[in-house]
Structure 1
Amino acid sequence: MNSISAISLSGLQAAQTRLNSSAHNIANGQTEGFRRLEVQQQTQADGGVSTQVDRAAAPGEALVTDVVDQLQAKNSFLANLSVFKTNDRMLGALLDAKA
């Protein structure tokens, strides 16, 4: 199993990928023939998450989907950041107690 830091870091990276993709979709949605970026997330057996970015099969925009995805990615980023910070504080407290 990966460390808690590694698991939360993979969540941070996945959320950043989702934010970047949805921002790209919003910025380019009005471009003729534009095919959206779609992010697939998959849990890893040893903890964490991996992402894959693909182009949509057909051109077109989905503004509501992209805005909702940005909000979900933001909340996911903040949750994983909180886990990362808490783990760091706990490790520091354990090291202080051991010394």
Structure 2
Amino acid sequence: MGLSAVMNIAVSGMQAQARRLASAAHNIANADTSGYSRLDTQVSSLPNPGGVTTTVTPSTSVTFPDSSNVDMASEMLDALTAAQGFSANAAAFETGADMWDVLMSIKRD
């Protein structure tokens, strides 16, 4: 696996976590909306060269007309874990960028 593949995997991870965070934020914003059905975000891996993809679908759990099916605690936990996942992928991308800079400096010398 090449360095560019590693960086592309990190980018797909950041995109997936950003989408996951957006879904959690949308759920939190609509928690008091009557009849709102929360959005579920599924993250799945891609075959070679790797990476992840997300699918956002409405929840299949029961929603009553006078309330929503949003649990604020789980939405906050989703938001926090998405932020941590984004940070981890950003660190991997930055490491790849640093390695790329080292390779370019070696090539110039």
Q: What is the aligned partner in structure 2 of residue 51 from structure 1?
A: 54
1:1-99 paired onto structure 2 within 5 Å:
3-46=5-48, 47-57=50-60, 58-59=62-63, 60-99=69-108
For 1:33 and 1:70, the matched residues in 2 are separated by 22
Unmatched 5+ stretches in structure 2: 64-68
With normalisation by structure 2, the TM-score equals: 0.87
1:61, CA displacement in angstroms? 1.2
What's the RMSD between the two structures over aligned residues? 1.1
Aligned residues: 99
Match of 1:3, SS?
helix
1:98, CA displacement in angstroms? 1.6
What is the percentage of aligned positions where both structures have the same residue? 36
Greater CA radius of gyration, 1 or 2? 2
Unmatched 5+ stretches in structure 1: none
For 2:21 and 2:42, the matched residues in 1 are separated by 13
With normalisation by structure 1, the TM-score equals: 0.95
1:53, CA displacement in angstroms? 0.2
For 1:63 and 1:45, the matched residues in 2 are separated by 34
Amino acid at match of 1:52: T
